[in-house]
């Protein structure tokens, strides 16, 4: 007999089993064809929908193809190319700076270590984890985006609030072989069912595992307040 699972580990195991069945094709939803495009897309995706990022990147990736081209693009030109993205001016600055470093310090290649990636402008641990996992096939952490934050807290898997603390919690209870897929499953379920406003608890495959689930409407119609 194996060692009995701790309650949170058992809960995570059941959550994963159900979500794997519910979303068998769960994967990253950003469009890219190489590591540089992946990095640019993930930088742009911060507080912006993947659909919007994909729409913008369809033209962006035709216009700029190398780190040097991004780095040498005038700030105003690059900002205009992404102006339907949230915080486009700041993101244009990040992209130009990150690509300048990639060209000058990394031989034009997107780095393959957490420390080198997070040294780039606009790249935090979340972005670095995505690039490592999907660009370099290196899985050394769990991507904690807004869906992962929301769902893991609603499910009672963690009480942490900051992404770094949530990731630290998850690394101790999510099986290592599921680290990459855990994020995709959380994102798919967050989009389909456990939305930020009016989550569909009645039709949720995790409702009986979720301390936040309610049998009726999750909005008090009299007060208009969310649960």
Taking the C-alpha atoms of residue 106 and residue 121, their distance in angstroms, rounded to an integer, is: 14
Q: Burial of 116 by CB count in 10 Å (0-12 exposed, 13-18 middle, 19+ buried)?
A: middle
Tell me the catalytic residues.
126, 145
Query: Phi/psi of residue 104, each to 5°?
Result: -85, -35
Can you say whether the dihedral through the CA atoms of 86, 89, 94, 100 is positive or negative? positive
Say how many C-beta atoms besides its own lie within 10 A of residue 178's C-beta. 17
d(CA 181, CA 41): 19
Bridge partners of residue 226, in order along the sequence: 219
């Amino acid at each position: 007999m194996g060692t009995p699972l701790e309650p949170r580990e058992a809960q995570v195991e059941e959550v994963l089993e159900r979500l794997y069945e519910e979303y068998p094709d769960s994967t990253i939803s950003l469009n890219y064809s190489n590591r540089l495009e992946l990095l640019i897309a993930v930088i742009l995706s911060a507080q912006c929908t993947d659909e919007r990022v994909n729409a913008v990147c369809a033209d962006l990736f035709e216009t700029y193809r190398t780190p040097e081209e991004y780095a040498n693009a005038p700030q105003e030109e690059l900002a205009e190319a992404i102006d339907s993205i949230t915080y486009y001016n700041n993101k244009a600055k990040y992209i130009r700076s990150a690509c300048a470093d990639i060209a000058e310090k990394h031989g034009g290649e997107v780095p393959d270590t957490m420390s080198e990636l997070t040294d780039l402008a606009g790249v935090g641990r979340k972005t670095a984890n995505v690039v490592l996992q999907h660009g370099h096939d290196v899985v050394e952490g769990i991507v904690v985006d807004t869906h992962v934050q929301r769902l893991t807290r609603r499910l009672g898997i963690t009480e942490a609030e900051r992404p770094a603390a949530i990731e630290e919690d998850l690394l101790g209870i999510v099986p290592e072989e599921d680290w990459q897929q855990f994020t995709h499953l959380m994102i798919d379920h967050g989009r389909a069912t456990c939305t930020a406003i009016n989550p569909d608890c009645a039709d949720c495959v995790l409702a009986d595992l979720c301390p936040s689930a309610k049998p009726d409407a999750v909005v008090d119609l009299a007060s208009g307040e969310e649960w």
